[in-house]
Structure 1
Amino acid sequence: MGRMMGFMLMGLIFLGLGSARAEDAPGRTMARQATAGMTPWITTDHANHEILRQKFTSGSDVTKACLSCHNEAGSQVMQTIHWTWRDPHSAEEEKIGKAGLTLNNFCISIHGNEPRCTSCHAGYGWKDKSFDFTDQTKIDCLVCHEQTGTYKKFPTMAGMPVDKPKKFGGKTFNPPDYNAVAQSVARPTRQNCGTCHFFGGGGDGVKHGDLDSSMFMPNKALDVHMDGKGKNFNCTRCHTTVAHDIAGRSYRTPAFETRKSLVEDDLTDKISCESCHTATPHRVGSKPNDHTDKVACQTCHIPSFAREKPTKMWWDWSKAGVKKDGKPYVEKGPYGKPVYMTKKGDMRWEKNVRPEYFWFNGSIETLTAKDKVDPTGEIAVNRPLGQQDDPNARIFPFKVHRAKQPMDAEANNLVIPQLFGNKKSDAYWKHYDWNRAVAGGMEKAGLPFSGELAFAETSYVFPITHMVAPKDNSVACAECHTREGGRMSAANLTGFYMPGRDTGGPLEASGWAIVLATLVGVVGHGALRVLARRKD
C-alpha cells in the first residue's frame, strides 16, 4: 500500500512535469528576454594599431604594448584568482587556493611542481617561489584574448611559449607569431577558456567531468546553451566579467550570493539558472516549481556528465612505480585512456556518469596539508557545505573523484609530493622514491614531514553545472522518487521524507494510521446511522 501511494504521488508529479515542458513555461520566456538584444561588444580591430606593428620577441613585450592603452587592466588582473590562485575571501593564514596549501587528489599540489602546473597560469615564468606577482609585464594577455588559435604555452615551461620548435606528448609546439596573435585580440571565446579549463589535471576531461574538449563546439544534445547551431553561448555569456573579475565559484566563495533574476535586477550576474529563468521557470501551477527552493536546476537538467568524452573517476598513487624491463610504461584500456602508468599508478575512466548528490549552498570546504585527518575512513579532501535547513542550499549534482594518495602516517595529515623536476631534484617522476619526493615537496611548501609514509583513500568533489541536456532528456521523477537504486541516496541526503524513496517509515505509517482511523470512523458512523434508522 505504501509503495502504491508513492507511485500515485510520482504519477501526479510526472503529470506536472509534462505540463511544465510546454512552450509557454515562464522560464523560457524570461530567458529569451534576458538574452535578447545582448550582442557582445566588439573590440576595435587591433591590426590597425600602430603599437602592435612593432617587432615583438616575447609575450611580455606584447603585454607592455597592451598596458600602454589598457592602463588599468594590469592592476585589475592582479586582483583576480586567475592571477593569485588564492581564494580572495580567505584569510592569509588559511592559505586556501592552488598557490596556498590546498590539496586535491589528482596531482595534489603545485609546490615543487610549478613549471608544470603553471602552464595554465595567466602569466609568464612562475617557476618557483621567486615569481614576482607585482610585475605587470608578467601578465599573459594573449592566453585569454588572442584569436588565431596558434598561440600555445609549453606544458613544462612555467607558462612560457617556446622560442624554437619543441615536442611534448606527441605534439610540436612552435614559437608564436607575436605580431599576428597580438593584432587578433578580441573578447574571450570558448577556445580561450577551454585551453586551460577543459584540460585541467593534465589531460582532456581529467578533472571536472562536465568540461572537456567536446565543449569547444557541442551539439544541442550535449549542451542546450552552448550548442554551436543553436544558442552558441560563449563562457562569458554566463560567467559575466567586471574589471577582469570573472563570475564563478572559488573554493568557499559562492558563484553568487543572492538568487535574484534579471527580471528583478538587471545588474545581477548571469551565473545562476535563476538569473535568466527565474525561480519559477515552469508553467504556473506545475509540480517542478515546488522543487526549486530545495532542488537545483542542474539536478534535473544534467542527468549525466562526461557524455561524449570519458573523465577520470579513480586514481591510485600507491600502485605507481612499477616498471617493465626496467623502464616506465603505460597501459591503455577503455576509450584509449591509460589505466596504468608507472608515473601515476592505477586509474579508471568512465563515460555518461550519473552524478552523486549533496546539499550545497555554493561554498566548498577544502583541506590543506596542515590539517589533521582520520585515516580510518575515506577522507574528504574537499566537501560541499550546506544542509536541509540552509535557505541557500539546494540538492546539487557532483562528480566525486576518488583516489589513494600519500599521507604522513605519524602526523596524520595529507602530504605534498614533488612530482615534476630534473634529475637533481627530488621529483618522483625522476627517481620513483616516494619518501624523497614527499620530503622535497613538503620542504618546498614550508611544512614538516615525519618520514613515515602511508596512503589514504580520499574523495574530491566538483559541482556539475555544464552539459545541460535538452528538456526531453531531463531526469524523470521516478529516478529520484524510488526506493531501490534511486538518485537521491539516503546516505548523502537525510533528515527529510521523500515520497517513493522513504516508504514504510514512521511518517508513512502514521499517515496510513490516520487514513485507516478515518475510514473506520466513516464506516462506524454510517453503521450507527443505519442502526438508528432501523430502531425508528
Structure 2
Amino acid sequence: MRKFILCSALVLVMTALSGAAVMAAKPVDNDGDGVTERSDCNDNNALIYPGAAEICTDGLDNNCDGLIDRADPTCTAGVCSDADGDGYGFPADPSCSYTQEDCNDTLASINPGASEVCDNGVDDNCDGLTDTADPACGTNPHASNTWQNYPLDCLSCHDQQFNEMADSTHYWWVGDTTEMANQNGTLQGKLTNSVNSYCINILGDWPVCGKCHVGRGKRPDDPQADKTNIDCLACHNEDYAMARTRLADGSMAPSLAGVENPTAEELQVLDGYTQNINAPTRKNCLKCHAFAGGGNAVKRGDLSMSGTDLHGATLLEGTDNNSDPNFDVHMNVMASDLKCQSCHVFQNHKTIGRGSDLRPTDDLARGSEVKCVTCHAGFDVDGGHAAAGANRTDADRHVSKVACQSCHIDHYAKVATELNRDWRYSHDGTPADGTNGPGHPELTIGEDLSPVYKFWNRLSDNYLLGDVAVIDPETGAYPTSRPIGDINDGKLYPFKYKTGVQPMVSSDSKLVALDTYEYLAGSGDVDQAVQSGLVNMGYPSTEPVEWVTTDTYQLLNHGIAPAANVDCAKCHGDLDLATFSELDNLGYALKGPKAQICSQCHREKNLKSDHPGMHNHVDKGVGMDCLFCHSFSRQEERGGISPCDSNATDFVDTNPFAHPECSQ
C-alpha cells in the first residue's frame, strides 16, 4: 500500500511539474510584429499591436487602445490623410492642408466639393443631406437646355471640363505609355498603332470602330474637331448613351436626331437628353465597354450587360442588372451596387485602371492600377486576412506574390465570350467571299471558363502596327499582347486567353490591318478587305500574305464572387508530387528528382506524397526557404534558412544538393 501511495505521489508531482513547464513556455508572436500574444490584442495581424500607429480609416483598432479610427484621439491630433486622393482629407485643422473634412475618405466621388447625385442614396457632397433633401437637388440648372443648342449650353458653364476631357485618353484614344516593354514612353492607342486579336487595327474603319468614341462623330485628330466634338451626354445621360448610334451624316447621336421633320414629342425627347444630367451610370460605361469586340461580353470576358448577344439570344443577367452576388459581388444591386467610377476614380476627367492588353496610362500622376486595398485596407499585408476571419489565415502567405483577383475570380465568361476569331469565314462558317454580304467573322465562344494564370510585373509587351511579328514557341502563335513576369518577378494574376486567325505579310512578317469596314459594312469579301488593308499600310494590293494565328492574354478584374466562395483547391487540389501540374508550369516544379531533393535532409523515410504534407513538415522551427527544393526564393517575405546560408547545415546533414543559385 505504501508503495502504491509513493508511486501516486510521484505521478502527481511529475504532472504538476509538467504543467508548470507548459505554463512557463516562451510567449508566441504569431504575426511577427514584435509583441507577443500576451500583450497583442490581435496576434494574427502585424498592423495591430500596442504602440502601432492608428490608421484612421481602416475599421481596425491598430494600437490596441480599444478605440477605432476617428474615435481614437491620435486621429484628431494632426494626422493628415487623404486615402482616396480626392483632395479632401482628415482632419480639417491647421495641422493639415485640408480646408474641409472628407466624410468618406475611401471613395473619391464623395467629398465636400462633389456634386450631389439626386437619386443614389448617398450624401455625395458631405453636407449631411442626401438626394432630394439636399437643396442642390431642388432646382435643375439644366432645365433650359435644348437639343438645338447642344453642346454650346454645356460649354457656356463647363469650359474647364471640356478642356479636361479633350486631354483624356477616353477622348484621344491614344496616350502616354509608362508600362510598355515595346516603345515605352511613346504615344500608343487604338486610334493609331495598337493591334489586337479582335478587329486587328482601326486603319480604314473609323465609321464602325469609332461608334464608341466619346465624340459627336469626328475623329479626335480631325482638324475640324474642336471642343464641340466632345459628347458630354455619352457619359452623363444614360438614355442618350443607350440610344446613340452613327447617323447617315457621320455624326453620333440618337436616331431621332436624324429625323428630317421631328414632331413636338420627338423634340421633347431630344431636349430631355440635354436637361437630365447625372453622374455616369454603369449603363453609360457598359454601352461601350461591355459591347467591345462586336457584342455583349465578346471581348473582355468579365464584363457584360443585359440585352442580346450576337446570335440574338436574350441575356437575362448581366453586371448592370445583377442581383446575384455570385455574378459580381461589387456590382450586385442588392448589396454594394458600385458604379464603375467607384473603383475607376476620375479626377479632372482622367481615370485609373486598365487591362494588361491596353497601352496608354490616362493619368500619369496616379498611374494605371486600381488597388483593392483602397476599400479593403490591410489585406495586402501578412495578418490582414487572419484579422478578418479565422478561416482566412492561409491567404496571408500569398499576398506578396498572388494578386487578389487570382483567388477571388474563380471563373469567368459568366456570359459567353469570344475565344477565337477567324476572318476567313463568315459568322455562319461559310467562306467570307462576299456572297452573304457584310457581317461578323466566325467566332468560337465559351462560357463558365477557368482563367489562365501568369505572373505579371505590370509591364506588357504589346504588338504595334508595323512591328515584325515573332512567333511565341510556348503557344505556337504570334502574340499581340503579353504580360511580362515570372515566378521571381511580379504577382500571379488571372487572364483570359484568346486567339485570332488574321493575315500577315509573307515577306516581312508584319500583321496586316485588314480593312474591317470593307468586311463588316462593305462587301463582306475577306480578299477585298485584305487588299484594302495592304494599300492602307502602303503595300501594293497584290502583296502576298499568309494566314497566321495570333493570341493575347487579357487581365480579368470583374466578376468577383463573395469571399466565402474562395476555394484553395482550384490551385492546391489533391495534386500528387509525382504529377506535373499547372503550378509546375508556372515555375513551382522541384529543381530535381524528388528523392534527391529530400535526401538533403533525410536518410530513409516515406516521402510525403502531396503538397500540403510536404509544406507542413518544412515549416518547422525557423523554417526552410523554398530554394532548398525549388528554383526560387521566398526568404525575403517569409524568412527562414536558405541553402546558400552558412547555417544551412541545420537542415542539410546527409547528401548536400548542388544549388547553382548560391554561386551566382
Shorter-chain TM-score range: 0.7 to 0.9
Name the counterpart of 1:89: 177
Name the counterpart of 1:114: 206
Deviation at 1:246, TM superposition (A): 1.1
Deviation at 1:197, TM superposition (A): 0.6
Between 1:316-325 and 1:286-295, the stretch displaced more is 316-325
1:468-483 mapped onto 2 (5 Å cutoff) = 468-477=560-569, 479-480=571-572, 483=575
Classify 1:518/1:324 alpha carbon distance in 2 versus 1 (closer, same or farther; 3 Å). closer
Q: Deviations over 1:127-168 (max 9, x none)?
A: 6x972485100000001011446752215765612454889x
Q: 1:78 aligns with which of 166, 172, 175?
A: 166
Aligned pairs, number: 452
TM-score between the two structures when normalised by the length of structure 2:
0.60
Question: Partners in 2 of 1:209 and 1:511 — Cα distance?
Answer: 41
Name the counterpart of 2:151: 63
Classify 1:190/1:356 alpha carbon distance in 2 versus 1 (closer, same or farther; 3 Å). same
Question: Partners in 1 of 2:361 and 2:433 — Cα distance?
Answer: 50
Question: Partners in 2 of 1:412 and 1:224 — Cα distance?
Answer: 44
Deviation at 1:225, TM superposition (A): 1.4
Deviation at 1:69, TM superposition (A): 1.0
Q: Work out whether residues 316 and 346 of structure 1, in 8 Å CA contact, stay in contact via their aligned partners in 2.
A: yes
Question: Partners in 1 of 2:138 and 2:287 — Cα distance?
Answer: 22
Tell me if 1:367 matches 2:475. no
Answer 1 or 2: higher relative contact order, Cα 8 Å, separation at least 6: 1
Name the counterpart of 1:516: 602
SS of the residue 1:177 aligns to: helix
Name the counterpart of 2:222: 131
Q: Work out whether residues 256 and 271 of structure 1, in 8 Å CA contact, stay in contact via their aligned partners in 2.
A: no
Q: Work out whether residues 425 and 431 of structure 2, in 8 Å CA contact, stay in contact via their aligned partners in 1.
A: no
Q: Work out whether residues 362 and 385 of structure 1, in 8 Å CA contact, stay in contact via their aligned partners in 2.
A: yes
Name the counterpart of 1:381: 480
Name the counterpart of 1:303: 410
Deviation at 1:120, TM superposition (A): 0.4
Q: Work out whether residues 237 and 273 of structure 2, in 8 Å CA contact, stay in contact via their aligned partners in 1.
A: yes
Question: Partners in 2 of 1:270 and 1:93 — Cα distance?
Answer: 17
SS of the residue 2:188 aligns to: coil
Question: Partners in 1 of 2:268 and 2:454 — Cα distance?
Answer: 45
Q: Work out whether residues 282 and 320 of structure 2, in 8 Å CA contact, stay in contact via their aligned partners in 1.
A: yes
Tell me if 1:346 matches 2:413. no
Identity %: 25
1:302-341 mapped onto 2 (5 Å cutoff) = 302-307=409-414, 309-320=415-426, 322=430, 327-328=435-436
Q: Work out whether residues 479 and 486 of structure 1, in 8 Å CA contact, stay in contact via their aligned partners in 2.
A: no
Classify 1:54/1:415 alpha carbon distance in 2 versus 1 (closer, same or farther; 3 Å). same
Q: Work out whether residues 571 and 583 of structure 2, in 8 Å CA contact, stay in contact via their aligned partners in 1.
A: no
Question: Partners in 1 of 2:349 and 2:221 — Cα distance?
Answer: 25
Name the counterpart of 1:242: 347
Name the counterpart of 1:437: 529
Question: Partners in 1 of 2:341 and 2:405 — Cα distance?
Answer: 19
Q: Which runs of 5+ in 1 are unaligned?
A: 1-23, 168-173, 259-266, 330-341, 421-425, 521-536
Based on CA coordinates, which of the two structures has the bigger radius of gyration? Answer: 2
Question: Partners in 2 of 1:299 and 1:89 — Cα distance?
Answer: 26
Question: Partners in 1 of 2:538 and 2:422 — Cα distance?
Answer: 26
Name the counterpart of 2:513: 416
Q: Work out whether residues 434 and 523 of structure 2, in 8 Å CA contact, stay in contact via their aligned partners in 1.
A: no
Deviation at 1:348, TM superposition (A): 1.3
SS of the residue 1:317 aligns to: strand
Tell me if 1:216 matches 2:313. no
Classify 1:450/1:185 alpha carbon distance in 2 versus 1 (closer, same or farther; 3 Å). same
Classify 1:453/1:292 alpha carbon distance in 2 versus 1 (closer, same or farther; 3 Å). same
Tell me if 1:407 matches 2:504. yes
Name the counterpart of 2:639: none
Q: Deviations over 1:297-355 (max 9, x none)?
A: 10010001112x111111111234836998428xxxxxxxxxxxx74443211111101
Deviation at 1:53, TM superposition (A): 1.6
SS of the residue 2:170 aligns to: helix
Between 1:74-83 and 1:132-141, the stretch displaced more is 132-141
Q: 2:144 aligns with which of 53, 63, 68?
A: 53
SS of the residue 2:424 aligns to: helix
Classify 1:45/1:470 alpha carbon distance in 2 versus 1 (closer, same or farther; 3 Å). same
Deviation at 1:292, TM superposition (A): 0.9
- For the aligned residue pairs, the C-alpha RMSD in angstroms reads 4.0
Name the counterpart of 2:453: 357
Structure 2 counterpart of 1:89, one-letter code: T
Tell me if 1:185 matches 2:277. yes
Q: Work out whether residues 362 and 384 of structure 1, in 8 Å CA contact, stay in contact via their aligned partners in 2.
A: yes
Classify 1:269/1:201 alpha carbon distance in 2 versus 1 (closer, same or farther; 3 Å). closer
Deviation at 1:469, TM superposition (A): 0.6
Q: Work out whether residues 419 and 437 of structure 1, in 8 Å CA contact, stay in contact via their aligned partners in 2.
A: yes
Name the counterpart of 1:141: 232
1:242-281 mapped onto 2 (5 Å cutoff) = 242-249=347-354, 251-252=358-359, 271-277=370-376, 278=378, 279-280=380-381, 281=384
Deviation at 1:476, TM superposition (A): 2.1
